[in-house]
Every structure is written in C-alpha cells, then in structure tokens.
C-alpha cells in the first residue's frame, strides 16, 4: 500500500529556492559576504554607484553621477550616516500648429543612497565637491576624549 502513495518531499530541501545556496555555503563564507553576494546578484540595483573609503580619521565617499547637474544633488548628513539624493526633472513642450495641438511632457526621476558608518562623523567639518560627474564627500570622524586615570 505504501508503494502507491506519492513520495513525500522535504520542504526544507527545496533547491529551487533562491535562498537555498545561502544556507549551503555557510561554512565557507561569513554572513556579510553572503549578504553582499545576494544583493550583487539580484535585480535590486541602486540608482548610482558609490564607493566608500575609510581612513584612520575620515571617510571618503565617491559617487558617480554622470549627466547630473550640481543643483540636482542633495546631501544630508547625520551622526552615523550620509544620504545622497539626486532629483532630475525635464520638461518639454511640443506645439503642432498644423494639428492645432499642444503637448507638454514632464519627467521626474529621484535616486537616493544612504551610507551608514560605524564611527560617528563631524557634520560641521564635512566637505563636498562635484566635478565631471564625480561627487566626492570627505567626512571627518569624531574623535573621542582620552581619559587619564587618577591615582
């Protein structure tokens, strides 16, 4: 009688699942590398490329923004993160006297990236420049106070 029953499938061994490989590779990778690889291989693509470098006393952010005008960039700094937002809008008006029609096209695009930091940053000493499609932001880290022990 057991021969006629359909084979029971283990729901935990679904190799078709997009997350199956994450759990199989666990002994060989740390979890952060696995998360990075998941987002690099997914269809979730950011609006623009950002590269972050960390020095002993500062963070340096490079954002590639080709074709973006300086006045379309907004930078918002918090104690442990910076958000770069690009607002692009274009308007076009087409007037056709022969057909007696008037068409106005307006396009709006917004892309934003938030970069978190491990160390707090000094917002008041931050600097940014934009040249030839490359945004560079320099964010000094806050330095803590060294406490001397009393006798």
**Tell me: the pLDDT tens digits for 62-76?**
999 988 899 999 999
DSSP letter (8 states) at residue 38: H
| The pLDDT of residue 31 | 65
pTM of structure: 0.60
Measured CA to CA in angstroms, residue 5 lies from 11, 80, 116 at distances of 17, 59, 54
Query: Residue 24: is its pLDDT beyond 60?
Result: no
Phi, psi (deg, nearest 5) at residue 49: -80, 135
Residue 105 or residue 137, greater confidence: 137
Fold (topology level) of 47-142: Immunoglobulin-like (2.60.40)
Handedness of CA 20, 23, 24, 26 (dihedral sign): positive
Helices (H), the chain: 20-24, 31-40
Stretch(es) of the chain classified as CATH 2.60.40.790: 47-142
Look at residue 8 and tell me whether its pLDDT is greater than 90: no
C-alpha separations of 93 from 67, 68, 75, 88, 108 in Å: 21, 21, 31, 17, 15
Q: Residue 63 phi/psi, 5° resolution? A: -120, 125
Better-scored residue on pLDDT, 33 or 84: 84
Contact 91, 106 (CB under 8 A): yes
What CA–CA distances, in Å, run from 138 to 93, 121, 124, 141?
Answer: 40, 10, 11, 10
User: What does the alpha-carbon distance between residue 45 and residue 31 come to, in Å, rounded to a whole number?
Assistant: 20
């Amino acid at each position: 009688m057991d021969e006629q029953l359909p084979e029971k499938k283990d729901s935990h061994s679904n190799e078709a699942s997009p997350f199956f490989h994450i759990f199989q590779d666990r002994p060989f990778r740390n979890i952060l590398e696995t998360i990075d690889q998941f987002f690099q291989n997914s269809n979730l693509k950011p609006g623009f490329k950002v590269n972050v470098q960390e020095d002993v006393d500062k963070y340096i952010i490079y954002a590639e923004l080709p074709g973006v005008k300086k006045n379309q960039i907004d930078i918002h700094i918090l104690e442990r993160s910076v958000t770069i937002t690009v607002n692009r809008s274009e308007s076009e008006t087409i007037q056709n006297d022969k057909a007696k029609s008037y068409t106005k096209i307006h396009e709006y695009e917004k892309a934003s990236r938030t970069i978190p930091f491990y160390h707090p940053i000094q917002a008041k000493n931050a600097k940014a420049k934009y040249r030839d499609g490359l945004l560079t932001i320099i964010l000094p880290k806050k330095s803590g106070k060294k406490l001397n022990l009393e006798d």
